[in-house]
Homo-oligomer: A and B are copies of this chain.
Amino acid sequence: MTRPQTDRLVMKFGGTSMGDLERIRRAARIVAAEVRAGKSVAVVVSAMAGKTNELVAWTDGTGKSTAANAMTDDEYDVVVASGEQVTSGLLALTLRNMGFNARSWMGWQIPILTDDAHGRARIEDVPGDVLGAAVDSGEIAIVPGFQGVTRGGRITTLGRGGSDTSAVAVAAALQCPCDIYTDVDGVYTTDPRIVPKARRLEKVSYEEMLEMASLGAKVLQTRSVELAMAKQVPVRVLSSFIEPDADGVLPESSGTLICDEDEIVEKRIVSGVTMSRDEARITLLGLTDRVDAPADVFTRLAEAGVNVDMIVQSQARTPGSVNLTFTTGRRDAERAEALMTSAQAEVGFEEIRVDQDVAKISVVGVGMRSHAGVAQTMFRALADKGIKFQAISTSEIKISVLIEDAYAELAVRALHSAYGLETV
């Protein structure tokens, strides 16, 4: 997208904002305010909060299949996609009853074309012509998030959190920005429940948001940020707990804009501190010091679908052997342990240890690219509080450390302060 059509706007409301009729009416009032302000609007909606879980539970109960089986089934998608169909119709009715021209557009009507990986489909194409003409004519187009259709005409779903991705894809098709209304009012320098002085970021780059999304800041689904970056869709994260004033005007634009790095004039070295407790540390003690031993270990894990994040290798006490430490998500730890234990003789190690009492703390910022001393600040701040780190990993715009879980909040507070992220 080279030039956004600024009079068009995609607005997305999540499950909490669609939770009951009163909340749907509030969302409708927010939509109405944008329409009155002259925008041509498409709205992407989630299912009512809790509804998707209920539908998934029903599919799980259809027989002896495991949830995993049902999840990749085309009929699973038929069932689960119904939740967004309901909220689409209800929002359209609500807007009509307020005197607006609105209609719903199912995934198969637009169509939102996806591949046929049912339960976790990827959007391949969203034609913007018909939908664009509809919104330009003054109609509010309501689009169910999370759902699409294959070229063969079967219903698909995008996987959990897919509605954010739907919204960005529709915005890309309409060549316009995307406002994501959610239950937080933006992206913060860190979790305000841990650091009350955490500051809302006015702007954050796609790259930073990607690191934050995948590191545990649960504001936006990672894929939606990837798509926004690829299609250069400006995304704003806004609170849905707002009300237009008596004249139907929304309060002054707030939230956080996720945009290209170039559009952020005042670049910070560090934009945010994130924390993830979904970590487990696995150590293979006394691994034979063959040159291909680590490759052997990680090939086995990869083939079993276990994602490995940080890796540290150190000399072991036994001569001719090393200790290999790596981290995985907590869900995968048990599987990784079983896999390694069963291959102990082939791989060749003395002992395996699994530690779930770990947390990953990261600092993220595009400014790191051009600034030295970022890591030193981090290590100094942690050392000052007596916090040891067990592993480090870095990217161009991120430094992560693995620490003992009990120190996680302390570490976040220390780093937030060390990088001067507090509200002034």
Which residues of A are in contact with B by a Cβ distance under 8 Å? 21, 24-25, 55, 58-59, 61-65, 70, 73-79, 81-82, 85-86, 88-90, 92-94, 96-98, 102-104, 106, 108-109, 153-155
Contact = CB atoms under 8 A, between A and B. Distances in A.
Nearest to A152: B109
Given A86-B55, A109-B153, A78 B92 contact: yes
A98 B21 contact: no
Contacts of A85: 78-79, 81-82, 85
B59 A97 contact: no
A98 B64 CA distance: 8
Contacts of A73: 93, 96
A119 to B, nearest CB: 12
A75 B103 contact: yes
10 contacts: A21-B61, A55-B86, A58-B86, A62-B90, A63-B93, A64-B97, A79-B86, A82-B89, A108-B108, A109-B153
A76 B104 CA distance: 11
B104 A75 contact: yes
B94 A63 contact: yes
Interface centre among A21, A82, A85, A155 (most CB of B within 10 A): A82
Given A21-B58, A21-B62, A89 B78 contact: yes
Contacts of A25: 62-63
B59 A76 contact: no
A339 B93 CA distance: 32
A249 to B, nearest CB: 21
Q: How many copies, total?
A: 2
Contact of A75 (B55, B74, B89): B89
Counting from the closest, the 7 A-B pairs by CB-CB distance are A63-B97, A78-B89, A79-B89, A62-B93, A82-B82, A75-B92, A21-B61
Contacts of A97: 62-65
A103 B86 contact: no
Contacts of A58: 21, 86, 90
A63 B98 contact: yes
Given A79-B90, A82-B85, 16 more contacts: A21-B58, A21-B62, A25-B62, A25-B63, A55-B86, A59-B90, A62-B90, A63-B94, A63-B97, A73-B96, A75-B93, A76-B89, A78-B104, A81-B85, A82-B82, A85-B85
Nearest to A73: B93
Nearest to A87: B79
Given A78-B88, A109-B153, A94 B24 contact: no
A78 B94 CA distance: 13
A108 B105 CA distance: 13
A63 B64 CA distance: 43
Contacts of A89: 59, 75-79, 82
Contacts of A106: 78, 155
A228 B155 CA distance: 31
Contacts of A154: 109
A260 to B, nearest CB: 37
A236 B364 CA distance: 68
A86 B88 CA distance: 16
A82 to B, nearest CB: 4
A25 B89 CA distance: 30
Q: Which of A81, A82, A89, A109 has the most CB of B within 10 A?
A: A89
Contacts of A61: 21
B62 A94 contact: yes
A61 B28 CA distance: 13
A104 to B, nearest CB: 5
Contacts of A94: 62-63
Most buried by B among A92, A93, A102: A93
A90 B62 CA distance: 6
